[in-house]
Structure formats: structure tokens, C-alpha cells
Structure 1
Amino acid sequence: MAEIEGETAPGFEGVRDAFAANFAEGAEVGAAVSVYRHGEKVVDLWGGIADPQQARPWQRDTLQAVYSTTKGATSACALLLVQRGELDLDAPVRDYWPEFTAPVKVRWLLTHQAGLPALDRPVPLADALAWDPMVDALAAQRPFWTPGTEHGYHGLTFGWLVGEVIRRVSGRSLGTFFRDEIAEPLDLDFWIGLPKPQHHRLSRIVMPEPDPDAMAGFNLDDLPEQLRDVLAAYTDPTSLTSRTYDAVEPRMDNNDPDVLAAEIPATNGVCTARALARFYAALIGGLLEPDTLALATTEQAAGRDRIMRIPVRWSTGYALWTSEAPWLPQTMFGFSGLGGSIGFADPETGLAFGYVMNRLSDGLTPDPRAARLVTATINSIKEQR
């Protein structure tokens, strides 16, 4: 059984028990979880193996690629510019990015309503890592729906779209802006574009093992209609869903040092669980002023997402609570990532939460590891009231 290291404040021992249970059941290889309450650290735990190929243990400062959990950091950069009066959410994107052709408001980039989740032709991986070829392609792309009328998860393009607006306004790349304005002032182990000298601290991602018997006796017609719709969207290579995740060809690999060294603000953030929780603690602790924080917590679009094919609720830059993950606080805002990582804050209870891990889940259902940890955290808070 993996040794669990770290600390919990009195009353939060249940989170340690939940974290240990994830390992005991074989659900984890290496992982970390951190919780802040009203700006104070109450949970900081880690354990397991960071790199199975080298049998390297997970340490206090082990870094983890967190996929779309990165989007929460990217959104915060945009909201800081809004807070400073340098970015108008209701202005056309072309006011800041003249080459951009679609009739899209800045706000719609952050609420996944721009209609630009995919490209007519996938961009080669080398071009995606170089930045300019990707933003040039997005600037010329016709929307797949009338902007502002529907919402669909911009799984990859979100980062380049929001990041290029930030670059045009601030004169700095998204990764540089995040480092200068958020990560370094808060002393966070959090990067979008990981410097090569930090790569030795990285955990290695462990992909889910395929189950050859999983489809035995499987009948698509036996599934509920929504699940049939989801599976059809993800398995049809011509669907807009598949094209969204295939906007870069070949797909990016977050075990690739070149991918992690580039700036991919939708998917290649690297951090510790501690940094992720502290980041969200800062958002509700004064980094975002009340009017700006309200943008992050107020619903802007809701209903079945055109890309993910499940019900979602979007604020300006963040995901909000839905019944798809009932274990989350109903007043939370945050972002989760491929395979299970999640960061969020709940202004009502002063809770800020970060969970990172290297074994990816299959992604078909909400991750039970995160659900167990969040549930234990909420129960610990309830018991102290």
C-alpha cells in the first residue's frame, strides 16, 4: 500500500482516509490533493509513484500535467484584464485582433459560444506548438454555428482564442502573463509552458489500460438516449465532437517535453495540487474583486453542450455545478481535466480544492476518486459547523 505523506488540519482527517482508500483500491498510481479554507491550508497530501518507468516516488514538489484544468488559469488572466479596464467583454474580438474575421464578442470566447471549437483542416502538431500558425487558422475560420446562439466546448481552441486576445491586449504571451501576474506573485508551482529546468520534477502520465472484454455483449440500443448520443458523437470521426478533439494532428501528448514546453493554454498547464488549490483560494480571497468574481460565478450559458453532448453550465471562463457531478458544491466554479484532475473554489464556504494524479480515468463518467475526496472535504466542513 502506498505511503501517504503530508498533513491535515484537525477535523480533516477524513480526507486523508479517502485519499488512502483511493490507493488501497488500486485506483491511483501517484496523486496529490490540497484544500484551503478561507485562505488557510487544511489539507496537503501526496503519495504513490510519480514515474512507474523509473519507480520514482511522488514527492512534495512533484509536478503534474492537468489537461483542461489549465483553462481555469487562462480564464483568470482574461478576468484580470477585464478588472483593470483593459479588456471589454462585449467588444468584438476584432477590436483587439484585427485579423480575426468572425463576428464574435470577447465574452463568447470565454463562454464557449464563439462557434469555433474545431477547424476545417487540422493543424499539424508543430504548427500548434509554434502558436502563430494556429491563431492564424482560427482568425480565418468560419464559425460552425452563429456565434452567441449556442454553446459547445472549445476543448483545444479555447486556449489559443483567449490567449491571443490576452497577447494583443497585454503584449505578453498567455504563459508569460500568467507567470508575471499570478504564479510568481502568489509563489505558485504552476506553469503554462513549463521551463525545461523544471521537467525533472514531472510525474509521468499513465494511460487507462484497454479492457478487451468491455464491449462483450454490448448493445448500443440498451443504453439511455443521452448516452447513445454521447457515444455516437465521440466515435463518429466526422462529427463536430470528434473534429473538436482532432483539431491538432497528431494529438498532443502531455508526456512529450516539447508539448509541455510550448504554451497550450487550454490543456498543458503543469502544477502541484497545492498550487492549484492556492490559485483558487486567491481568486476568492481578493485577487478577483467582487464584480469580477461575479463574472466567474454567474451562469452565462446552460443546457446540453453541442460538443460534449451532456448538460453543462458556463460562467465567464469557468464550469459551474450540474447534476452530472452532484458531489460538488452547488455554488462552486472551476475546471476539471482529462482523466480526473480538478480545481475549484466555493465562495460560499471559502473552500478551494486541488486534485492532481497521473493515472488517467477512462473519462466516460465523473471520476470516483475526485468525488470521494470532495465528499470527504465537504463532510469535514459540515462537521465543524
Structure 2
Amino acid sequence: MNGTTDPRFEGVRTAFAENFTARGERGAAVVVYEAGHKVVDLYAGSRNIEGVGVGEGPRWEPGTAQILRSATKGVAAAALLLLHQRGELDLDAPVGAYWPAFKAHGKEHARVRDVLAHRAGVPALDRPLTPAEAADPERGAAAVAAQAPFWAPGTDHGYHAQTYGWLVAELVRRVTGDDIGTFVAREIAAPVAADVWIGLPDAQAHRAGRVGPVEAPVTAGGLRARPSRRLAAAYGDPHSLTRRAFGSVDPAPDENDPAYRAAQLAGSNGIGTADGLARLYASLIGEVDGGRRLFTPETVRLARTEASSGPDRVLVVPTRFGLGHMLHGVASPLLGPGSFGHPGRGGALGFADPESCIAFGYVTNGMRTGVTADPRAQALVRAVREALGRHHSGA
């Protein structure tokens, strides 16, 4: 166990240690900011999943970065909200006003806010893209633009697992002329010194650890946690919208491939440190270390105001979304009702909670099969919540 914690947050250290001893953690880091100042900074294990338990491979260091999977979506959403904040993007404008080809097949009424709230109606592709095709931003954008909607845009919501990245990236390009990776690096990450990338630069590639699957630990009763029958059926049916949405890139790419990591998939392949993820969210709700703040209070309000809720046509379970970020709920329990952020399938989590002035970042190299509410991340969130409860009660 390495790193530091403010005495009030020692419970987070305990929960982090228990992730390794009881929840199957292999290598991970967690960082928490409170009112723009770091109060938790912990890391342990190996940065490479293959090296754990056999004494091989480099150990996790403070600057170790890992793939964020869908936690990338929260970073990408910040790009569109920042453009709106600057008056360069109208959330109520049709997507087709910026991207005429997107009007095809009855999508002319889809608004920018529908993209952010997973209401655009195109969570899957009739023909999945290969990893090489998916990494080509023009090919990805063209495929989504040509896709007939699965429902009338704006009338329902369903998680756009892969297509979200091409939608957001193309809107950024149409408005600014920049690719999403360049915009995030220059306008979001650099101003607040957050180590987060969409498209890992060659100069930073040495910092990224290797990821891989890990099984859920055996419970006290000798069983492993299993998804509900309904959820298992949705993921097991190759014709379900669930499988088709997550299978919009087929075969699944090798997440340790340097070419994949250098690609700019704004919904799935961001790379970052726990500090970078937490620091970015801290900068959305306030100044970090007395420095710059990215979002105005009005933009924070937009990010965490419910835009979609109820049964999700892709994830099956009920979900809640603001404009680009998941909100506290069944699918993604965060710190409190006002929290907003995004998990990554199998582990990573980043979010901000304006009421408590908390920003949270967690990354891991051990990827689980679950999409949301990873038990390791949730144990850490509960520990933060308990620490704040004790502090506010005067304990």
C-alpha cells in the first residue's frame, strides 16, 4: 500500500486495502479531492495485470495510467459542454445543423442534447466496424450518420456504448476543426494539469499499464456474483440491442495494442491516471489548488440535471443521465443525489459531487464483466461517504 490520506479519510485506505484482500484487486489507484485539494492519493499492486502475484513486471507508480473505457465518456462530454459554455454550440440545435449527413433516415430532429443524454436513437450499427475501421474517425462518423435510428430520436433513451464516441468527436470536429484528442488535450487537460488523454501520445505511452480480465471473488457462501437472468439474457442474445450496442466494434479490440491506445475513441479508449480523472472533475466544480476552473455554475447545473431516466433500452436496468454524464442511481451509485460522472465497464470511475466539493478518480488494471457499479469502486465511494458523514456529524 502506497500513498497518503488525510486523517479524516483513513476509511478509504482501509477499503482500498480490502479491495486487494477480499475483492480481487490486482493493481489500482484512487484519488479524492475536496474543495480543490487532494485528500486521498493511494496506489498499490502491479501496473501490468500479468505481473501480479508472480513478482514480475513493474509496480504501480504515482504516474501510472490505465485505460478508462467508458469513463472516457465523461471527459468527452466535458468538451461539448465547454463549447456550449463558450457559445459555440447550441444544445437545442439539430445535430444536422452542424453535421448535415446525420439527417439521414429520419434523424433530422435529433438534437445535440439528445446525443449527450443517450437519446439520439443510434446505439448500435447494422454492420459493426472492425477495430481498424473504428479507429478511423471519418469512417466511424460516416457509419453513425448512415445508420437508421432504432427509435425516434429524443423519444427514449438507451446507452450508446460505442457510437457515443463517434457522435461527440464529430460534433467537436465540426464546431472547432480539431479532433477530439487535440481539443481535450489543449482545452481541458492542459489548463488544469490533468493526466487524461483521448488518443495516448507516444511520449506518454511508457506510463500506461497493461489491463486484463479478472474474475469476481468468491463470496462467503462459496459463490460468485451473477447478473440477473434478464441482464444475462440481454448480454447473451446476439440479436439483442444490448449485444449489438456493445458489439458495434467487432471483433473486440486488443486494449493493450499501442495502435488502439493511440486511436481517438471518445467513448471507450481514454487513458488516464486516478489523479488525472479526479483532478479533471475537481476542475469542473471549482478551482484546483487555487488554479483554473473549467465549468461555470450554470454548466455544472446542465451536467447534473436529469435528461434521461427509467428503463434503459440497452443496459436493461434503469439509468439516469444528465447531459453527457451518468447521475446517481441504481446503475451507477455515486456519492449523493447531486453527483455526476461516469463509470467505465469493468472498473474505472470518475465523478464530482458539488454539494460536498468532492471529486473522485479510480482506475484499475483488472477488468470485470460488469458495466456499472463495480464493487471495488463502490467500496471506495462508500468509504468517502462515511468519512464525510462522520466529519459533518462532528465525530
Is TM (by shorter chain) over 0.5? yes
Give the CA deviation at 1:9. 1.4
Structure 1 residue 184: Cα displacement: 0.9
Distance 1:80 1:229, change over 3 A: same
Q: Note the C-alpha offset of 1:45.
A: 0.6
Query: Corresponding residue for 1:84?
Result: 86
State the SS of the aligned residue for 1:77.
helix
Q: 1:204 to 1:109 in 2, by over 3 A?
A: same
User: Does the 8 A contact of 2:47 with 2:209 survive in 1?
Assistant: yes
Q: In structure 2, what is the Cα distance between the partners aligned to 1:239 and 1:323?
A: 22
Superimposed CA distance per residue, residues 197-249 of structure 1 (whole angstroms, 9 cap, x where no aligned partner): 222211111212499xxxxx99xxxx9xx933222211110111111111112
Question: What's the offset of the Cα at 1:328?
Answer: 3.4
Letter in 2 for 1:98: P
> Matched residues in 1 for 2:369 and 2:126: separation?
28
Distance change >3 Å, CA 182–CA 325, structure 1 → 2: closer
Q: Please state how far the C-alpha of 1:290 moved relative to its aligned partner.
A: 1.5
Normalised by the size of structure 1, how large is the TM-score? Answer: 0.93
> Which residue is 1:331 aligned to?
338
Structure 1 356/233 Cα, relative in aligned 2: closer, same or farther at 3 Å? same
User: In structure 2, what is the Cα distance between the partners aligned to 1:315 and 1:324?
Assistant: 14
Q: Contact 2:344/2:372 (CA < 8 Å) preserved in 1?
A: no
TM-score (norm 2): 0.90
Distance 1:243 1:63 in 2: 29
- 2:353 paired residue among 346, 355, 360: 346
- Partners of 1:190 and 1:323 in 2: CA distance: 27
Among candidates 4, 8, 11, match of residue 14 of structure 1:
11
Q: Single out whichever of 360-369 and 74-83 deviates more from structure 2.
A: 360-369
Number of residues of Structure 1 aligned to a counterpart in Structure 2: 372
Query: Within 2, Cα distance between the matches of 1:324 and 1:165?
Result: 27
Instruction: Please point out which of 43, 48, 57 is paired with 1:46.
Output: 43
Which stretch shows the higher mean deviation, 174-183 or 357-366?
A: 357-366
Instruction: Tell me the distance in 2 between the aligned counterparts of 1:162 and 1:170.
Output: 12
Give the corresponding residue for 1:239: 240
Which residue of the partner structure matches residue 179 of structure 2?
A: 173
The one-letter code matched in structure 2 to 1:57 is: R
Distance (Å, rounded) in 1 between the aligned partners of 2:22 and 2:240: 37
Does the CA-based 8 Å contact 2:23-2:376 persist in structure 1?
Answer: no
Please list every run of 5 or more consecutive structure 2 residues that lacks an aligned counterpart in the other structure.
Answer: 218-222, 287-292
**Which range is displaced more, 152-161 or 284-293?**
284-293
1:297 aligns with 2:298: no
| Residues 1:313 and 2:320 are matched in the alignment | yes
Matches for 1:203-218 after TM superposition, within 5 Å = 203-209=209-215
- What are the Cα deviations for residues 295-344 of structure 1, in whole angstroms up to 9, with x where unaligned? 10100110010000000111111111113455632221000001111000
2:152 corresponds, among 129, 146, 150, to 146
Determine the structure 2 residue equivalent to 1:287: 294
Among residues 367, 386, 393, which one is paired with 1:360 in the alignment?
Answer: 367
Structure 1, unaligned stretches of length 5 or more?
A: 212-216
SS in 2 for 1:384: helix
Counterpart of 1:118 in structure 2 is 124
Q: CA deviation at 1:380?
A: 1.2
- Are 2:1 and 1:31 equivalent residues in the alignment? no
**After superposition, what is the alpha-carbon deviation per residue over 1:178-199, rounded to whole angstroms, capped at 9, x for unaligned?**
0000111111111000012222
Residue 372 of structure 1: which of 366, 379, 383 is its match?
379
Identity %: 49
Compute the displacement of 1:253 (Å): 2.4
Q: In angstroms, what is the RMSD of aligned CA positions?
A: 2.0
